Amino acid sequence: MHMPSQFQSRSEIVKTGKMLHQRGYIAACDGNLSVRLSKNQVLVTPTGMSKGSMRSSDLVIVDMSGRKLKGRRDVTSEIGMHLLIYRMRPDVNGIVHAHPRTATGFAAAGIALDQPLACEVVIGLGQIPLAPYGTPGTPELARTLEPLVPQFDAVLMANHGVVTYGVDLQSAYMKMETVEHFAQIALITHILGKQQLLDCAELDKLIAARNKYLAVNSAAPMPVHSSNGNGNGGARRQKKSTFADESRDRESTLLRS
C-alpha cells in the first residue's frame, strides 16, 4: 500500500480532529489520533490541546518506543496504546481514540456492543468488545487492549471511551462513526425493552457477503444467539467465522499491492 506523505498525514489528522470535535465525539482536550508514517515513525496528536483547534505544526513524531523525534509540543500520554496497536497490527496505519457519548455510556455501564442487531455492523465490524478498565496514560491501558487488538477493529474501553483503527485514518474515523451509530441503535432497543436479533442463518449470509466489500476486512467473530428472534430466549455461543482467515489474507494482498 502506498503511504501518504507526512504533509498529507498532518492535514488528515487536523481535519479528523475537527470532525471529532464538531460531532461531539470529544470535548476539551480529550481524545488522540495517529498515523503510521513509516516502519519506525508515528505522527500523533499532542497532549493538553483541543483536537478541534490543532494546526499541523502542533503534531509530534515519535519512534516505535515512544521517544519524541520532532515537534514542539509533548506527545499524548496515551501513546502506548497507539504503539501497541501498530506493533500488533501491521495492516493498521491510522488510529482514532475518542469519547462518543452513547458508546462511552455503554463502556461506563460495562456493556459490550456484541449483539447482532444491525446488518451493517456485522459486515463492517463484526462485534465491538469491551476491554477491562485501565488507567489512562499508563501501561495498564495498553495491557487491557492487548488480547483484543489482533481480532477486532473497534474496542470499547471500560469507563473511558472507544478506540478504532484501520488501513488509514479515514477508515479508523469511519469505524468510530459506525460504533457510535450502532450504540445509539442498541440504546433504543434497550429503552424499548426488546431486541430482535439476527439468527444464525442470517448471520452466515452476512459474513459471506463481506467478501463483496473490498473496504471491509474485519476478522472479528460474531456472537450467534440461539433465540426465538425476539432477543429474549436461548443461550449464547461464540461462533468463529471461517471468513476470518480469508479476510486477513485478502487484507495482506491489498496492502502489498
> Is 12 a known active-site residue?
no
Burial of 199: CB neighbours in 10 Å, binned 0-12, 13-18, 19+: middle
Residue showing cell 462485534: 127
Catalytic residue from among 78, 146, 202, 246 = 78
Catalytically active residues, by annotation:
78
